[in-house]
Amino acid sequence: MHNGAIMPTEVRHLVDRDQAYPLVRLTGVLNDQTAAAVRSVLLDVLADQPEAVVVDVADLVAPRAGSTAVLRDVLDVTRDWPGSHLALCGAADATAWKASGWPVWPDVREAFAALGEPERDRRVSIDLDPVVGAARRTREVITESCGRWDCPDLTGSACIVATEMVNNVVAHARTPMRVLLALQGDTMSVAVRDRSPTLPRFAGPVAVTSYGGRGLLLIDTVSARWGHLELGDGKVVWARLEPDRTAMPV
């Protein structure tokens, strides 16, 4: 315990979700000792699939050479999913942060102005328990969302992917889960977040005589891309769907 002063190896964070996009304020020193904590905070925010995230570094001590590597890593591992727009603001010396690959703005106001207004009704999330019927409920939400978004050609593939992901949580992870859907242009993402650290393993096609093991093969077949994001308290398994890929029969 300490008296409230920020120690040299500590970073504090405050996440403000009452903005157009989540705003993460970081305070302290970004160095080798604090990089992992910063990474964990940012990935946790991104795991809710926001359209954009703004990070205020006004009270984060300017990094030495190489200190921004953690921000570059966050950018790289989330490029395909959720593919959120990322922005830094408040840097006294913007040049020092350029290596992160994030756009840097003078202050919060300018960062939000550059991002513009969020797209409305392009993201859906539902929280489910790991019970029988969870996959059916997910398919209902997907069918309704695809109809509202006028992309019925993605419904079949999205239902296949979500069914496999959700059933895997019910059968193996056995934790509460969050199902996330998003429409980005003409592509759609389906993701499931759970509280298990066990990561999916895909070794390619399985023998026709084998029992099980086809869930990831189905996801791989109907998805343009898929993968996972490791979190401090579990993971997200995600898939990106494109309209020119034909869904297999369920």
Backbone φ, ψ for residue 93 (5° rounding)? -125, 95
- CB-CB contact of 194 with 169 (8 Å): yes
Instruction: With beta carbons less than 8 A apart as the criterion, state whether 62 and 96 touch.
Output: yes
For residues 23 and 173, give the distance between their C-alpha atoms in angstroms, rounded to a whole number: 31
Predicted TM-score (pTM) of the model is 0.88
Question: What's the half-sphere exposure (Cβ side, CA atoms, 13 Å) at 193?
Answer: 21
CA dist., res. 161 & res. 217, Å (int) = 10
Sign of the torsion angle spanned by Cα atoms 148, 82, 119, 195: positive
How far is Cα of residue 148 from the mean position of the Cα atoms in its chain?
23
Residue ranges and CATH numbers for the domains of the chain are: 11-115 (3.30.750.24), 123-241 (3.30.565.10)
Q: How many CB atoms lie within 10 A of CB 113?
A: 10
Per-residue pLDDT of the chain (250 residues; tens, 9 = 90+): 344 444 456 899 999 999 999 999 999 999 888 999 999 999 999 999 999 999 999 999 866 777 889 999 999 999 999 999 999 999 888 888 988 999 999 999 999 999 999 998 999 999 999 999 999 999 999 999 999 999 999 999 999 999 999 999 999 999 999 999 999 989 999 999 999 999 887 655 544 333 335 678 889 899 999 999 999 999 999 999 998 765 544 4
